[in-house]
Amino acid sequence: MPETTPNLKSRSEAAHSAYEELGTRFEENDPREMYTYMYSKLRSDYTLMERVGMDGKSVLNVGCSFPIDEIYYARKIGHWTAIDLSPQSIEGAEQILRGELHPDLAAKFTFQVADACDLPFEDDTFDVAVSMSTIDHIPSREGRQKAVDEMARTTKPGGHVIITVPNWWNPPYALGIWKMTREKTLHYGYAHLFSPVEIRKMAERNGLRPAFFASSIAPLDDVWLPGYPAPIRWGAKLEFRVHRALGYLGRRVGYAFEKPMR
């Protein structure tokens, strides 16, 4: 259905003011205390980051919000640039990170207010560009595609783009969001739900290649049981195939894409 301009404007304002408000309350709302959020993040976001490897890399995080990923990866990464559209979130995130980390680790980070759809960085700047649960808050289809294009543009050839999003193939979650949107009770203003196919196609338009898929509900790794009898190895493989299929129904899903060498 075509999206009309006034609708887009109000969605955009709703999402922006929700995140500006959240940015003033980071001290009271530490997401690390929410086990369901952490479970989902570890299974999807961190699984993908571990698969591509983060050691010594230059990283861009698009839509950082609370600096949970920054603090988690501080020891591993080379340099990390965190951007967010919300000035309050950037200020709050930087304050928390500098308060929690040793200055030598904190020095690896740059925080900047910026729009995912118009990144203020040169082409081929970062080894890895990540964006977790962020592009779903961009109200227009063109804007969401632009954000993916921008991540692809600013990633070096041979580098990775990691994107995770909420998944409408998870019916209870999709219904919950639909109900809250109708009742205007969605605490983050606006969210577009993707399918795993949609996010893959958006990246492929930029020539990115899917390298790994991950989901909040299933470990999608393969299993290897060398030395075990064949029926056990086959059974284990079958079980992981089932997990892989179920993963496409996860609430948060995403891919690590590779940007091919030119």
By CB under 6 A, which span of 56-64, 166-174, 208-216, 219-227 interacts with ligand SAM? 56-64
The distance of closest approach from Cβ of residue 228 to ligand SAM in the complex, given in angstroms and rounded to an integer, is 37
Q: Does 138 bind ligand SAM (CB under 6 A)?
A: yes
| Binding residue for ligand SAM, selected from 115, 124, 198, 204, defined by CB under 6 A | 115
Q: Does 151 bind ligand SAM (CB under 6 A)?
A: no
Element at 9 (helix H, strand E): helix 5-23
Structural contact between residues 126 and 81, judged by C-beta atoms closer than 8 angstroms: yes
Q: Does 117 bind ligand SAM (CB under 6 A)?
A: yes
Entry field: residues in the chain = 262
Closer residue to ligand SAM in complex, CB, 137/200: 137
Structural contact between residues 251 and 217, judged by C-beta atoms closer than 8 angstroms: yes
Q: Does 70 bind ligand SAM (CB under 6 A)?
A: no
Residues 6+ apart with CB under 8 A from 236: 223, 225, 228
Q: Does 65 bind ligand SAM (CB under 6 A)?
A: yes
| Binding residue for ligand SAM, selected from 48, 63, 128, 215, defined by CB under 6 A | 63
Q: Does 81 bind ligand SAM (CB under 6 A)?
A: no
Tokens representing 210 are 């899917």
Structural contact between residues 72 and 54, judged by C-beta atoms closer than 8 angstroms: no
Q: Is 234 helix (H, G, I), strand (E, B) or coil?
A: helix
- Nearest residue to ligand SAM, using CB? 63
- C-alpha torsion sign, points 19, 37, 32, 73: negative
Closer residue to ligand SAM in complex, CB, 40/58: 40
The footprint of ligand SAM (CB under 6 A) covers 15, 19, 62-65, 84-86, 89, 115-117, 132-134, 137-138
